[in-house]
Chains A and B, each alone.
Chain A
Amino acid sequence: MFSALLKRELMVARRNWIGIVIPLFFFVMVVSLFPFGVSPEAPTLQKIAPGIIWVAALLATLLSLEQFYRSDYQDGSLEQTLLIAGPTQVASAKILAHWLLTGLPLVIISPLLGILMQINHGFTDSTHTWVLMLSLLLGTPTLCLIGAIGMSLALAANRNGMLVAILVLPLYVPILIFGTSTVTASLENFSYNGQLAILAALLMIALVVSPFAAGRALKISVS
């Protein structure tokens, strides 16, 4: 059942592929604004790089939420899927599809942003790029999981877009803190295992709580 739901989500997304690509463009464009806005010098960019890349990833995840939920809700197919499968399952399929099509691509193109933000400036190897990718790999699933709760709650509301951001952003703060501090610790030659472990722990908590909560929220929205 779960794989059928997931397959459906992926198929819908493939037919609307431009909606998947736009958050990635957004991710790259937002990051590339900062050299213009702050300073194009490598040491400055390197210093702000972890925060900028992480904030951009967070906003890109937030932006892409809409298309995985909104149209399904509006054309009634969400109600139909909830009739044939449990709410937790439906929510899990949506969350996994969202991460596969937004979170994972963000992780994959993050080295490009590392280069744009001069993250390896002054170093001979590319350790920091790997650390950045690893932190995003552990952090973006949590972003998708928490975002799913906010999005599902806001589905039936009159306002959209901004409302989801207001609900979800305070909950994103811990992930942002530890995601950024992982990369910063690596740049300052400190150990970053602790921060990665906390990112993983947050992911575990979100994995337990979020599919259930998002499922309840979907149920409330269509009731």
Chain B
Amino acid sequence: MASRWRWFHQLGSPKWFFEKSSKWLPWIWAGTLILLGIGLYYSLWASPIEARQGQGHTVRIMYIHVPAAALSMVGYVIMAIASIIGLVWKMKVAFAASRAIAPIGAAMTFIALFTGAVWGKPTWGTWWEWDARLTSELLLLFLYLGFIALHSSFAERAKADKAASVLAIVGVINVPIIYFSVKWWNTLHQGYSVTQKGALAPEFQVPLFIMIGAFYLMFIGLVIMRLRVEILMREQKSRWVAEWAAGQNGHK
């Protein structure tokens, strides 16, 4: 019983995480680079261009747009789960993780919105449409920014952690509500959907999946790097950080 949950308790120790993650990071970055290399080669060069809808090369935007959009949502859910873990089990690393994820998730949301706008101009003839997905993605960006704004408004870090965590949890309840409300709102006015998808042909699908895998690994790598900095800042008074810092200086 105790041993089954050991990994969970170990994750709760900032020191353990900091030491272990330095060994994980090279592997994660290596995987990211390999997948990104293959994925970018196929998606930007080797994959066919979309002829049916007359999109030409703009279809290649998809290979950045879809992974970023997927991670913007997954990132928010992970942030909320980390917040729940932090509030329930008072786990320091979980609070640090939700703080570490927020800016990266916000960046992913922004990339998804930006590439979507760039892709939308040639295909739909407009930079922006108040479509269900676009609107809920925009609101997701606002939720991320609200989390960051709230977290940065406190003098005490412990309070900031708890308050921002409550907001993240309330926000995650609202994400499906926002999504469906916007969807129904939209269909009340316009009957067409611009994001309708047919089945993707395999020559599009395979590079897309590779790119999604690459983005996931990149996301994990970025989060771990931010989390390590976050841990160092939070634990700056503890002895192991002082020892680690001394070791870093010794190397130079």
Interface residue ranges, A against B (CB under 8 Å):
149-150, 153-154, 156-159, 163, 166-167, 169-171, 173-174, 177-178, 181, 185, 198, 202, 205, 209, 213, 216-217, 220-221, 223
Contacts and interface: CB of A to CB of B under 8 A. Distances in A.
Nearest to A170: B142
Contact of A163 (B150, B170, B173, B174): B150
A45 B208 CA distance: 48
A114 to B, nearest CB: 21
A158 B153 contact: yes
A157 B166 contact: no
Contacts of A223: 159, 162
Contacts of B163: 153-154, 156-157, 217, 220-221
28 contacts: A150-B167, A153-B150, A153-B163, A154-B150, A154-B153, A154-B163, A156-B156, A156-B163, A163-B153, A167-B146, A169-B142, A170-B143, A170-B171, A173-B139, A173-B178, A173-B182, A174-B174, A174-B177, A174-B182, A177-B181, A177-B182, A177-B185, A181-B185, A202-B177, A217-B166, A221-B159, A221-B163, A223-B162
A209 B142 contact: no
Contact of A170 (B146, B169, B173, B188): B146
B86 to A, nearest CB: 12
Residues of B in contact with A, size category: 20 to 34
B11 interface: no
A166 B169 CA distance: 16
A149 B164 CA distance: 11
A178 B178 CA distance: 11
Nearest to A180: B185
A217 B174 CA distance: 17
Contacts of B184: 177, 198
A181 B188 contact: yes
Given A166-B145, A221-B163, A149 B181 contact: no
B124 interface: no
B149 interface: yes
Contacts, number: 85
B154 A174 contact: no
Nearest to B166: A217
A149 B165 CA distance: 12
B155 interface: yes
Given A173-B181, A177-B182, A181-B188, A149 B153 contact: no
Contacts of A166: 142, 145-146, 149
Nearest to A214: B166
Contacts of A154: 150, 153, 163
3 closest A-B pairs by CB = A157-B153, A174-B181, A170-B142
A2 to B, nearest CB: 23
Contacts of A177: 181-182, 184-185
- Most-contacted residue by chain B among A163, A174, A185 (CB, 10 A): A174
A156 B139 contact: no
Interface string B193-230: 00000000000000000000000000000000000000
B85 to A, nearest CB: 15
Contacts of B146: 166-167, 170
A157 B174 contact: no
Contacts of A216: 166
A146 to B, nearest CB: 8
A171 B174 contact: yes
A24 to B, nearest CB: 27
A223 B161 CA distance: 13
Nearest to A146: B170
Nearest to B181: A174
B167 A167 contact: yes
